[in-house]
Structure 1
């Protein structure tokens, strides 16, 4: 039994107004080649097949065409819902896709038998037992109680997720035992998940999915499955140093800070004689993207290498400067004139900005006026273009009004406080 584990496709993503359609189509073409060459029995997409709950029509078309193309290769597809996915959107085609060798598990709000099932191999025989766990919404596994503190809710949700995994795993064990007794073959058990496990490295494009409730799920809460295919984190990585618990990561960079990480899908092979074998297949980069950092002279020099660039490159330029440059966009535009590049993100170095707050390290809040504190905080932000400059004016006006109102009320508040002490 051989499977490919992938996740976080985010079909339909708009990247600084740029469509990722061509990249996704190129990736899917590459993936289908791997399925054919490696003789893959099943592909598991561990959540976030779409970028939003209402994906554009072209994203749905790509998804549906992939299902058809994969069926032609006699390969099973398992689609798990992620926090970006709409349960109703995934479920609307679930019954039709079931006729095309595709299992869709959009939420945990279904009977457990719909989340534990056998995956057939290319011959049609059972090849593995899957505990198909999508993104777990708290309402599907937990009933909150009045008076619970934040700590209580986090603990309760963590326990509920752990119990959910344990329940499905026990059901899988019973299926495994029955199959072993009837056929003399022990099927591997695979589990999935779409969540943040503790100790992983995130990227800018990952949204916290348990904000205010559960920061991360402890790895010891996973069942002792033979392989655990996870999604939600966009960087491929091993969880808690356990090689069989993996994030495959997203197949294309979903933010510029992911460019330093090689994108992958995981190839997982099971046999009766050998333990699970896990290897990574490196995904090619289908759109040239780069980050350039430095002062203006260093950036201008770095841009020279794009003079003979054949393919369009998307750029993130991070400028290191102590000065506020009102014409920064115009300068960068002049530097890139005639080059086969497109600047999608232009920002000032955050490190330089944050140094502004520590330059006068001896100063305390008591020594600064509210206006001075506010202006120091504004220097940490970017206000390059005309729209942002207009926003800066509005923010300053609003702050001035709030400060004026607070100062006007301050004497009366002091008097009331003195009268009640």
Structure 2
């Protein structure tokens, strides 16, 4: 890699010296979705700022190990700029205080693309597990310090696809397929837990154990517009917190974009996406987690105590959702203009009054200003009522779920029949997504 291409992520001089600390320090992040656009608007500047901030945070917080719990990229064929940012970050980690980076594949990632350079990256302290390994012991990573002494075990579990944990259940209904998938995931983690115990027995001293996952854990918080578009998050493959064996001192999860605990357990957490992936996430405070393990285990069998710090990610591009009637929308846009900060806006028109030139009035208000309206649409309740005369509704602005809901309304499907149809639709979407992943090819 040309060193000149790495200048954008270079560390400032005042972060060069790590501060003294006690115990191992791990940074947990996930769901970067590098390369993602927002309604056609490229976000390269945001992603570059995020990667620069991530590098500086690793150095400032004296991080020993970085864990990225899936969805590094937004698509299976990431663009050149997204790839460049990814590899620049890994090179900067090698030059920093960080000794190891562990990366697992997510459902948006191409497992083949991530895995391809794994052998080349390993000498840099970068450990990539893009897909489930045939030999699960290859997913139990024993990480060592500069003196060669064991310091951490990471059970690196990527997004587990249907083919990874069970064979196809021919003719089975949705419930049977779900049970088979969940049992397969449970067995996968149980096998890794047993392998971890065997590994620990062979060490001269205990070390902390971290497991990763890219999945939907039961009871986790979901919100509309969370940013996981074009894939199914529902109940299929939903696992309970009991899947994670007590041998795992900490479980670093990805897939959901909201930072949260699972099952009220501090040791099982989603870091959430570090950037708002859509306007529905605009009001969420984004963060990464820093976990500091105590230098000594509680005892030989009970694992390690730890402290968790949420490090807030700055907002690199302001997003805002403006909802209301036309006077409220125009006044809010004027206030945003007066603020002088670059702001991308989604307008939700929420009024029974028909305004034929709504788009023209909004565009005129924000012309030649720091406010950029990326999307104008009707509030959901007006779409349900079929009032589409105010603003045109493009198919690309709708998710598959929204299209399906409109089909249910258009065909006047009885309310009693809608739940089973939704369940079948979600099962089909899940199957299509899994099959498309099986057919994917790595980027040349």
What is the CA deviation profile of residues 78-133 of structure 1, one whole-angstrom value per residue up to 9, with x for unaligned ones? 11000000011112211111121100000114321210011234554321111100
- Aligned pair 1:262/2:269, yes or no? no
Aligned partners of 2:379 and 2:42: how far apart in 1? 27
Q: Equivalent residue for 2:325?
A: 295
- Aligned pair 1:334/2:364, yes or no? yes
Q: Measured at CA, do residues 186 and 382 of structure 1 come closer, stay the same or move farther in structure 2, by a change above 3 Å?
A: farther
Aligned partners of 1:323 and 1:27: how far apart in 2? 42
Q: Equivalent residue for 2:82?
A: 59
Aligned partners of 2:370 and 2:274: how far apart in 1? 25
CA contact (8 A) 2:254 2:272 kept: yes
Aligned partners of 1:160 and 1:80: how far apart in 2? 18
CA contact (8 A) 2:378 2:391 kept: no
- Aligned pair 1:42/2:62, yes or no? no
How far has the Cα of 1:13 moved from its partner?
0.6
Q: Equivalent residue for 1:32?
A: 55
Q: Measured at CA, do residues 194 and 89 of structure 1 come closer, stay the same or move farther in structure 2, by a change above 3 Å?
A: same
Q: Measured at CA, do residues 284 and 123 of structure 1 come closer, stay the same or move farther in structure 2, by a change above 3 Å?
A: farther
TM-score by length of 1: 0.81
The equivalences for 1:354-365 within 5 A come to: 354=384, 356=385
Q: Equivalent residue for 2:12?
A: none
Aligned partners of 2:188 and 2:211: how far apart in 1? 12
Aligned partners of 1:220 and 1:209: how far apart in 2? 25
The structure number with the bigger radius of gyration is 1
Q: Equivalent residue for 1:133?
A: 157
How far has the Cα of 1:5 moved from its partner?
0.3
Query: RCO greater where, 1 or 2, for CA within 8 Å and sep 6 or more?
Result: 2
Of 164, 167, 174, the residue aligned with 2:188 is 164
How far has the Cα of 1:324 moved from its partner?
3.5
The equivalences for 1:9-408 within 5 A come to: 9-75=32-98, 76-121=100-145, 123-179=147-203, 183=204, 185-203=205-223, 204=225, 205-207=227-229, 214-224=236-246, 225-271=248-294, 272=296, 275-354=305-384, 356=385, 378-379=386-387, 384-385=391-392
Aligned partners of 2:157 and 2:40: how far apart in 1? 32
Count of aligned residue pairs for this structure pair: 365
1:279 counterpart SS class: strand
Aligned alpha-carbon RMSD (Å): 2.3
Aligned partners of 2:52 and 2:269: how far apart in 1? 24
Aligned partners of 2:137 and 2:178: how far apart in 1? 27
| Structure 2: runs of 5+ lacking an equivalent | 1-23, 298-303, 396-402, 412-444
CA contact (8 A) 1:8 1:46 kept: yes
1:197 counterpart SS class: coil
How far has the Cα of 1:213 moved from its partner?
7.5
Aligned partners of 1:154 and 1:386: how far apart in 2? 35
CA contact (8 A) 1:41 1:122 kept: no
How far has the Cα of 1:208 moved from its partner?
7.4
2:124 counterpart SS class: coil
Q: Which moved more, 1:310-319 or 1:54-63?
A: 310-319
Q: Which moved more, 1:96-105 or 1:336-345?
A: 336-345
What is the CA deviation profile of residues 165-224 of structure 1, one whole-angstrom value per residue up to 9, with x for unaligned ones? 000011011111221xxx2x2111110100111111234211475678815211112222
Q: Equivalent residue for 1:415?
A: none
CA contact (8 A) 1:329 1:385 kept: no
Aligned partners of 1:250 and 1:386: how far apart in 2? 28
CA contact (8 A) 2:26 2:66 kept: yes
Q: Which moved more, 1:99-108 or 1:297-306?
A: 297-306
2:284 counterpart SS class: coil
What is the CA deviation profile of residues 41-60 of structure 1, one whole-angstrom value per residue up to 9, with x for unaligned ones? 11000000000000001111
CA contact (8 A) 2:334 2:365 kept: no
TM-score by length of 2: 0.77
| Structure 1: runs of 5+ lacking an equivalent | 357-377, 389-394, 404-421
CA contact (8 A) 2:355 2:390 kept: no
